Structure 1
């Protein structure tokens, strides 16, 4: 990546869309309040799933509708994505579809529930759409994964604008890409050393104009949080190590799921990315030393 490109990656994510997607997993009864807090703080992307085991998608929808009615945001301001989760990832006593019906019926019932939960108006489904819907994971076989994808393609572009997949390995992504009419627009994976930071997969995404989203960016990387380039960037910019790590990962053309439950952290994280952006513009030489060290850490996990 050139000097210009490295500056642009953070600038683009901050200026055109705030740097993070707000992650709503595991928020339980606090989901509505936290989503509204995130929107007030400046988040403009929201991630959820039709998976009551870990997400309260209906509370996300309540938060969004209240934000629209209160003038905090408009629907056009936001990027909203959700997921179809297969039976293996569901609590079988609380799920949005009957696991015993055929796969197509499962998906259509799940999508209908998401469109209803995330509807724009309190009393109508009119005008409701999803910016992206992801397969929460590949299905047990490639054939089933492609079958599920073909069902989802029937919603594009009217009710669902783009499609994606989460928790996916490169061979499956390649097979899906080749078979798909509507190509994947998003991959959402753990960004951590156990997958060697998905270096080849991220290269595939970049080549095919697929946005790579990361989750567990902090939780999965305690060593990176304590690393020299993160400490150097934090000291140079006055941000906390978590924000410094976020900024260095964003520089890899990664969009980060940020699920903080703290209003202070929501604001500080967004402001911190802006401070790093200012630092990059002011001291390119220092920035390039930091990012070269960070890239070496990421690439070295492949050996």
Structure 2
């Protein structure tokens, strides 16, 4: 059981990137985004997920929270795994977008990335500074209407690797699209991450996660708590919470991470819950080390619950 960090597959252009298995999600934080990002970093989070999508994210305030934490010596930029997204027109508020909707897909992607680099720069006084002005992973927020348009967006993002983007990924992605991105001869840099809803309506992405593991793609689970009230109340989650002395939310996160090559987005607004969730690494390692059979039984029960071969 690895609950600490995962290694993104090297793409041949950039050094391997470490990703903490627990990522702080900044969606829907609105005007509190800077405060909550700062609090999350202070609590111990070292991975952040955001997007160039003003409809649901305040990427500019995420950058503000990061800069405050760095200025106070809480963290250095190189200690943070930072990912943002290019969101296609279909996911944007037409009255508040980071690019001109009349641009080509290629130019939309480039304008979105430049906007993100400015929002997330370590030095707001000099947004073009080389120091710290990079994105660990750029994610397509969703596939575009056709695979051809999706590949066009991907190739546009590739032009920023390795100088200011280190890895590429995709979100809200069905298995056929992920396979197409991995097999396309037009693409040089294969997906390093896929970020999807982990919920029963999609059979917990069983086949997609299997494909991702086989191809060294990290699966990022979101909507993990909200979409799974039955899992939260399930016997293996409740038992792990009790036996390991962690919250029910942290127990579910730990069991999802146990599926292999999986990280989890955590969007709590509570500093108390942030600290509780971050404790799961040490507490699960302690529990699994001292009670190996119990841990294996709980993982097996959880896999059976979600239809995964045990």
Scaled by the length of structure 1, the TM-score of the pair is 0.93
The answer on 1:217 being equivalent to 2:217 is no
Aligned residue pairs, count: 292
Distance 1:110 1:18, change over 3 A: closer
Helix, strand or coil: the match of 2:48? strand
The answer on 1:257 being equivalent to 2:265 is yes
Quick one: which of 278, 291, 296 aligns to 1:288?
296
The answer on 1:126 being equivalent to 2:129 is yes
Cα drift, residue 204 of structure 1? 1.0
Quick one: which of 227, 234, 247 aligns to 2:241?
234
Distance 1:280 1:11, change over 3 A: farther
Q: 1:113-146: CA deviations, max 9, x gaps?
A: 0010011112112121100000000000001001
Alignment correspondent of 1:183: 190
Distance 1:280 1:143, change over 3 A: same
Cα drift, residue 11 of structure 1? 5.1
Cα drift, residue 240 of structure 1? 2.0
CA contact (8 A) 2:4 2:21 kept: no
Q: 1:159-212: CA deviations, max 9, x gaps?
A: 100000000001000001111210100100001111101111111111111111
Cα drift, residue 272 of structure 1? 3.1
Distance 1:275 1:56, change over 3 A: same
The 4+ residue runs of structure 1 with deviation greater than 4 A are none
Quick one: which of 69, 83, 86 aligns to 1:84?
86
Quick one: which of 136, 139, 160 aligns to 2:144?
139
Q: Report which stretch shifted further, 48-57 or 117-126.
A: 117-126
Alignment correspondent of 2:253: 246
Alignment correspondent of 1:275: 283
Residue ranges of structure 1 left out of the alignment (5+ in a row): 1-6
Helix, strand or coil: the match of 2:85? strand
> How far, CA to CA, are the matches of 1:62 and 1:235 in structure 2?
38
Considering only aligned residues, what root-mean-square deviation do their CA atoms show, in Å? 1.4
Quick one: which of 31, 34, 57 aligns to 1:32?
34
Alignment correspondent of 2:45: 43
> How far, CA to CA, are the matches of 2:19 and 2:193 in structure 1?
16
CA contact (8 A) 2:4 2:20 kept: no
> How far, CA to CA, are the matches of 2:296 and 2:290 in structure 1?
12
Q: 1:21-59: CA deviations, max 9, x gaps?
A: 100000000000000000011000000000000000000
The answer on 1:168 being equivalent to 2:173 is yes
CA contact (8 A) 1:75 1:120 kept: yes
CA contact (8 A) 1:133 1:163 kept: yes
Cα drift, residue 271 of structure 1? 1.2
Residue ranges of structure 2 left out of the alignment (5+ in a row): 7-17
CA contact (8 A) 1:57 1:114 kept: yes
> How far, CA to CA, are the matches of 1:96 and 1:257 in structure 2?
24
> How far, CA to CA, are the matches of 2:282 and 2:224 in structure 1?
19
CA contact (8 A) 1:22 1:259 kept: yes
Helix, strand or coil: the match of 1:212? strand
Helix, strand or coil: the match of 1:299? coil
The answer on 1:10 being equivalent to 2:3 is yes
